[in-house]
Amino acid sequence: MNDLSERTVRAGALEAGEDEVTEGPSRRTVIAAALAAPALIAARGERVQPNWPSLVQHYRYPEWFRDAKFGIWSHWGPQAVPEQGDWYGRFLYMQGHPMADFHRKTYGHPAEFGMKDLFPRWTAAAWEPEALMQRFVRAGAKYFVSLACHHDNLDCFDSSHHAWNATAIGPKRDVVGIWERAARRAGLRFGVSNHISHAWHWYQPAYGYDPVGPRKGERYDAYRLTKADGRGQWWEGLDPQELYTGRHMVAPDGIDSIVAMNAWHDQHDGQWIETPPPHDRRFVRQWLLRQQELIEKYRPDLCYFDNYELPFGQTGIEAAAHYYNRSIAWHGNIDVVLTAKQLKPYARFGVVQDVERGFSDRLWDEPWQTDTCIGDWFYNRSRFTDKSYKSAEDVVQRLADVVSKNGNLLLSVPQRGDGSIDAEEERILDDLAGWMAVNDEAIFGSRPWRVYGEGPTQLSAGMQNEGAFKGFDERDVRFTVNKGALYVLFLKRPTRPVTIAALGRGRWNGRVARATLLGGGPVTMAQRADGLALTVPRGDGFVPVVKLEGVGFV
């Protein structure tokens, strides 16, 4: 069965409504077809149609993505200005929340000073994109992703379809375009992240009010402002309702406690809603226009959707087909990556699964990505003052674990509102650079081995579960293969000899001829029936890597 017919079997199953193919080619066979270049499709000039069977039939996982392994993400926008962390633009409107308290003390009451009024304070005055990009390259990044628009609904790019954008407000610069040029000059693949689809429900507290206190019942800025109110203001000519998205789920009058107000929001506009705003097709149409323009203008190699499956159902599928067809026009094939979350099994053949701040407990057949941050997604000064960032060792442990399971790691390094990073972040990036200079051959261009590794630490699969993780053990190892060698990555530097059961003569037919510590010398070894015993020299470095050469590794 050729590549195209294997894909057709999969597409036919989708048309029949099946999540998985139960007869016909195996999952691994279909994966192999997905990895093969779609030369026949390209030669026939077929366009990707806006449906799942067509996405699955046409898509392949690009080799550049499989080789790259590690990307860095600038998750940066006006919510970095207060230096309070994530979701500031929502929480500032929720009386009793620490960010709401901070906002009132620092900027004023949200009836007068709302999220929109932070936008001009996002000046990017200390932003040095070229210097930052070089630091990211030294830290090992092979691709770079720029936030294009977060839930705060400010486009960080030169947007024709949304007047609230960074070329008109704040930096008054095309942030995405500047990052794109810097990344490509540095030899990196370039990506964008689109979080716009959640703005409509995320902003609904901006239409609310204080349920208690001296200004009880007074509605916030989103509720009362119109375009006409901007006359003589810094935002003259802009419509606040276009920014705040309109009154979709507005808290009713008469709520008289903070607990009751929070309960109302939890029940109605929620923490995470994937459906479109009710009775507002314009928001959905505008989302698609903005997404398509983002693709057309910047030709990204990767697009990250902050969504479960694709945004707004059929509209998201149309966006995916548009992106893939543009790639065919640019490259002659689909050489791009589109990521989304919580994908059903069939969808992982049409887009790449992203696992936010989470782990996998298995080796995946298909390529995937996890994204995490050394701190909060948006800059939080307390991470610097209390030294609570992830260390370079934490990052490399995650990278080794993810790569051994056929994944990539996308790492956010949060910037201050002015565009700079702090001294602790600089140190972490420098430590990453030091590790990469010695051990990069175990990561970049590698592929998973027959098993991902072994050790006593059991990881729980899923999203948003990093907080429960207690750390790795010195017996935890991960494997990669590259250019005929097998690499053993010790997630914690061992203080005593470690016996690796998967490499024992009783479980594997390969033979180890040499063991070498990357950046060091020969490693004492003994291959027995019960495992390969390795004695890693003592040292100060983290995640040491032993290169094994011999026969039977691939």
pLDDT in tens, 318-327: 999 999 999 9
Percent of the chain scoring above 90 in pLDDT: 88
Tens-digit pLDDT profile for residues 206-263: 999 999 999 999 999 999 999 999 999 999 999 999 999 999 999 999 999 999 999 9
Q: Is residue 428 part of a domain?
A: no
The model carries a pTM of 0.94
Same domain assignment for residues 134 and 17 = yes
Question: Which residue in 392, 493, 391 sits closest to 434, CA to CA?
Answer: 392
List helix spans (H) across 268-367. Answer: 281-298, 314-331
Region 103-116: mean pLDDT is 98
Distances (CA, A) of 328 to 55, 59, 243, 304, 347: 13, 11, 34, 19, 20
The whole-angstrom separation of Cα 293 and Cα 314 is 18
- Is 433 within a domain? no
Instruction: Looking at the structure, tell me whether residues 50 and 187 fall in a common domain.
Output: yes
Are 48 and 98 part of one and the same domain? no
Instruction: Look at 32-36, 150-154, 274-278 and tell me which has the smallest mean pLDDT.
Output: 32-36
Q: Is 119 a member of any domain?
A: no
Per-residue pLDDT at 29: 54
Q: How far is CA 105 from CA 96, 113, 167, 181, in A?
A: 13, 11, 30, 39
Kindly state whether residues 135 and 170 are assigned to the same domain: yes
Task: Report DSSP state, residue 112.
Answer: T
pLDDT at 498: 96
Last residue of a domain, one of 236, 267, 298: 267
- State the greatest distance between any 2 C-alpha atoms of the chain, in Å, as a whole number: 81
| Selection from 261, 252, 249 nearest residue 212 by Cα | 261
CATH of the domain at 504: 2.60.40.1180
Give dist(CA 72, CA 77) in Å, integer: 16
Nearest to 477 by CA among 445, 507, 442, 427: 442
The pLDDT, as a whole number, for residue 14 is: 52
Share of residues in the chain with pLDDT > 70 (%): 92
Domain end residue (candidates: 403, 421, 439): 421
316 & 245 share domain: no
CATH number for the domain harbouring residue 389: 3.20.20.80
The three-state secondary structure class of 484 is coil
pLDDT in the model for residue 468: 86
Q: Are residues 59 and 153 in the same domain?
A: yes
Answer yes or no: is 445 within a domain: no
- Residue 493 and residue 517 share a domain: yes
Distance in angstroms (rounded) separating the CA atoms of residues 205 and 133: 37
By DSSP bridging, strand 407-412 and strand 70-74 are parallel
Confidence (pLDDT) at 193: 98
pLDDT above 90 (res 521): yes
How do strand 485-490 and strand 477-482 relate by DSSP bridges? Answer: antiparallel
**What is the total residue count of the chain?**
554
Considering only CA atoms, give the Rg of the chain: 25
State yes or no: pLDDT of 117 exceeds 80. Answer: yes
Region 29-43 average pLDDT: 48
Q: Scanning the structure block, which residue is given the tokens 């119109």?
A: 226
483 and 380 inside one domain:
no
- 220 and 186 share one domain: no
481-503 average pLDDT score: 96
Average pLDDT over residues 271-276: 92
What integer is the mean pLDDT of 345-367? 96
Instruction: Quote the pLDDT of residue 12.
Output: 47
Q: Is there a domain that residue 12 lies in?
A: yes
Cα(301)–Cα(323) distance, rounded to whole angstroms? 10
Q: What is the pLDDT of residues 330-349, one digit of tens each?
A: 999 999 999 999 999 999 99
Domain extent, residue 247, equals 82-114+200-267
- pLDDT at 478 exceeding the cut of 90: yes
Amino acid present at 181: R
Instruction: List strand residue ranges (DSSP E) for 170-247, in order.
Output: 189-194
Residue 142 lies in a domain: yes
Q: Note whether residue 442 is domain-resident.
A: no
Answer yes or no: is pLDDT of 423 > 70.
Answer: yes
Using DSSP's 3-state secondary structure scheme, residue 339 falls into strand
Domain count, the chain: 3
Same domain assignment for residues 408 and 483? no
Count of other CB atoms within 10 angstroms of residue 230: 16
Instruction: Flag whether 443 is in a domain.
Output: no
Per-residue pLDDT for 9 more than 50?
no
Measure the N-to-C terminal CA separation of the chain; round to a whole number of Å.
25
89 and 221 both lie in a single domain:
yes
Output the pLDDT for position 27: 53
How do residues 177-214 score in pLDDT, each as one tens digit? 999 999 999 999 999 999 999 999 999 999 999 999 99
Per-residue pLDDT for 489 more than 80? Answer: yes
Grade residue 285 by pLDDT with cuts at 50, 70 and 90: very high
How high is the mean pLDDT of the chain? 93
User: Do 204 and 323 share a domain, yes or no?
Assistant: no
- Work out the average pLDDT over 304-315: 97
| Predicted confidence (pLDDT) per residue in 40-57, tens digit | 454 456 899 999 999 999
